[in-house]
Structure 1
Amino acid sequence: MTDSQFGLRHVIGAPVATTRLSEQAIVCVPPRSAKFTLAEWKLNNDTRSRNAEDQAQLADRVLKESERVRDKTKEGAKLLKETTDRRIEERIGDIEFNKGELMVQRKEIYNELEALGMYKTRLQDCLASLQSNALTICRKCLMLRDGRLGIDLAVDNVEDALQTEITTILGGQSLLKRALEQLNEQMRRLRSVRYLLDRDLQYKQAAIDSDKGSLILKPTDLCLSVYEGYANLDPADISAEEYNAYSAKNIQQAAREVSSARPIRIFIDTLLKQVINDLWTAYNKCNHEFNERIKETHIEKARLEEMHHQTAEKVFDMQNNILELKKALADKEAYIGLAHTRLGRRSQRVGAELVKDPPGQALYYECESLRHSVEELQQMLQEATSSLRYLLQTQIQLEEDINIKMNTLKIDEVDCMTLRATMDYHSY
């Protein structure tokens, strides 16, 4: 609800206690804003209608009072009483005029206290939301991200953005708390002035009631008495100037406090807007860093999965290669056995037949070649076995890294971003 709505509501419900056209209550309407809502337009129309009805009722009362005064002035024989009555009536009018001025200021104070109460509620709601929602979520995100594993447990841009957002929230809380303290102090001063006005209004109402009671007395009343004491019959010792200065001081003090309260509301509006803008900036920056980090993690996870797929293929190929090497070694054992058997048979030749002939040289060369082939195959088998072992270790490491990336994505993309989706920096 805007200031104009508060002002209109209290103007409509305010009683008008006057007796003359010149003494009618002053209706104080706060200055209108640049644009109004349809609800304000309807409320303004209703207010205009009710004000017109109030003025008509006021006019009726003034007409009746004028008729009563005219009737009383016709009694020429009661000139002294009528003169006294007029003096009392004038005094009642003066008091009611001052009372009307005080009522106007009291209404202003009441409206200002209502407005400040709403601003206080806005500040308290904002502080409570920052503490229980935003700050708690940011700290929980930091705690969740401590659950990352391995190399992913790094101080990245997301963590820096979260720390910056927490700092922004704490700074905004500090500013809002100081503004709330100023607001509470201003409300205390307004209540103090309202108490003085209420006391002054109470005294004035008592004086009006007393004078009105005196005004309705008649010479024929049985309650009349004659004072026969020696003390002064009129104990009044306050001058009219002192009396007027007392009420004027209360009115001036009330107006001063109302004028001091309005800049506070403007300041709080500006402060809330600035704080919310800063929080949205930090929130959007943190979300941007989260999204970038999630994108990088997805890319790295996809790269690791591709490498894992390639490594698995290499493991399969290497396992087949080892089987082929073992098969090749088994095949070479048959050829070696054949060559050695042939050499053994030829070594059993006797006499001059035990000669170094081409078949013997060929068999010897075949045995040496087969021996070198077996050594080469065994060497390759050892290298293939070592390579397979390293490939399996690499495959396991890649699986661990993929699991780490999946854990990081769960924390950042599911847990943290789901929590952050509940953060809301609305206009309080």
Structure 2
Amino acid sequence: MSVITYEKPTARLSLADWFTKQWTERQANEATGADAFVLRHDARQLRNETRIRTDWDTRLNDARLADRVTETDHWRQRLEACAARIDGEMALLADEKFSTEKQIDAMSIPFNVMSECISMRDNRLPAELTNDDADAELKKELCVAENRKRALIERCHAAWEKINKLNEVRFKLSVDIGDKREAIEIDANQLATHKNCAEISHKLDPLRIVKGSHSHATWLEHSRQLKQAADDELADTLKLREALFVARERARNDMAAQRDRVDFVLRRRIFETQKARNEAEWQRAKTGDEMAKLEREIAALEEALRDKMAAAKLAETRLENRSYRPGFELATDEPERGLKEEVLRLRQTAGELRDKIDCAKTTYNALEERMVAIDHDLAGKNQSMTTDVRCLDLRARLRQGEFAGPPTQTDRNIQLTRMEKEIPAE
């Protein structure tokens, strides 16, 4: 050969295959272009839809934030009005509490007089230390004063508790008002924030449920309950202030009525003491007879107890001796059951007799004490009358000073209707 040629050692394509390959590539390019066109159309549509949806979502959330700020501010104003009312009621209630405490302090004079009267009457001879009407009325007067003082103290304590509750509600209102103010500020700041602000950024987990968060219904119910609690406390405060005034007036009236009752009973007791001497002598004779009869009855009971103890010893001895029967003779027979029942009945009877003896001895001791008291009583009548007269003189202090009352009925009406501030000063 004149020329040496070199060819690749690969298979050659036929012309038909080459044309087929070109047609296949053209079809693939056209399909890819069509897919790209559809993708660009879908992308454009998606961009438009997402832009519109995002704009509307932002507008709606701005409206929601604005409504939320308005709602929160509305509740803040209502709670601030409640807080102002609570401050006023607390001041009025504190004044009523101070007036009640002042009257409680003034009650020391009646208590001193009552204590001196009771102590003075307690200095009577032992025979005259009886539970008469004067003692009962004096103690009743002390109970009335104690009850009225206790009622005033309870009212003061109730007022103190009410002030504490009002302070607690006021504190809750202050906290809630502060929270609402802070929430309004935060929501207002968020309302003013837009997508071109510099301080916005992606957050780690913005869709998380924040710990301690509540639903809107829970928030609304909490605000309503707080407002209702404040209204309830304010309604109770007015009733409590009226109750404090009523308690003070009732204390004055009850103590005045009981004071007159005690004075009357003391005067009647002085008259009755003169008649009590014969009654005491008759009681002494009667008590002596009862003591003698009771002494004989105690001796009879002790004799009956000794008889029952002997019978019990007999029954227990029989039971113990029958326990030594041999073999099958040691049977639970009728005699054994009868002896056991007898022992139980004797023990019960002995217990009843001992109880009755103790009761009889207690009664005898009481009669003996009464006999001694009657003997001393006969020697102390004159001293008792002198003591009661001195008590009447001492009780004149209860009609002076703070407890003398208004000088005229007009002054009393002015005091009851609280018209002092309406009447101009002279």
TM score, norm. by length of structure 2: 0.43
Q: Which one scores higher on RCO, CA 8 angstroms, separation ≥ 6?
A: 2
Under a length normalisation based on structure 1, what TM-score does the superposition of the two structures give? 0.43
